Amino acid sequence: MPRSNRPRGRRPGEDENEIDLSRALLGRLSTESKRDGVWNVQPLAAASATKYYLCPGCGLEIAPGVAHTVTWRADGLMGEQNDLADRRHWHLHCWRIKA
């Protein structure tokens, strides 16, 4: 009988190396300091961008299917719930050049 090259199961420690599809599509959350405060920054992949948004940096529209960045205050005084409600979608370039 010929040998099968099909994997027969998971190897020990293989779970650590698996790619989480939701994390890959949504991007990694990070914190950045800008002149006006500390911001939570999460890149959004083009495949996850399904709606139109207005970039606060340039005032132009971000179309569906365009990779961009979602930001919200990390040091807001009114609480995390309000900060999340006030999140904004930026073009990648507009966020990078924001002072």
DSSP state of 77: S
Confidence (pLDDT) at 75: 85
Domain-by-domain residue ranges, the chain? 24-97
34-68 as b/e: b if 16+ CB within 10 A? eeeeebbbebbeeebbeeebebeeeeeebeeeeeb
Banded model confidence at residue 17, pLDDT cuts 50, 70, 90: very low
The answer to whether 51 and 64 have CB atoms below 8 angstroms apart is yes
Banded model confidence at residue 89, pLDDT cuts 50, 70, 90: very high
**Percent of the chain with pLDDT strictly greater than 90:** 54
Tokens of 46: 């083009």
Asked whether the predicted pLDDT for residue 19 surpasses 50, the reply is: no
What is the rounded distance in angstroms from the CA atom of residue 26 to the CA atom of residue 89? 13
Asked whether the predicted pLDDT for residue 16 surpasses 70, the reply is: no
Would the CA dihedral through 81, 86, 92, 93 be positive or negative? Answer: negative
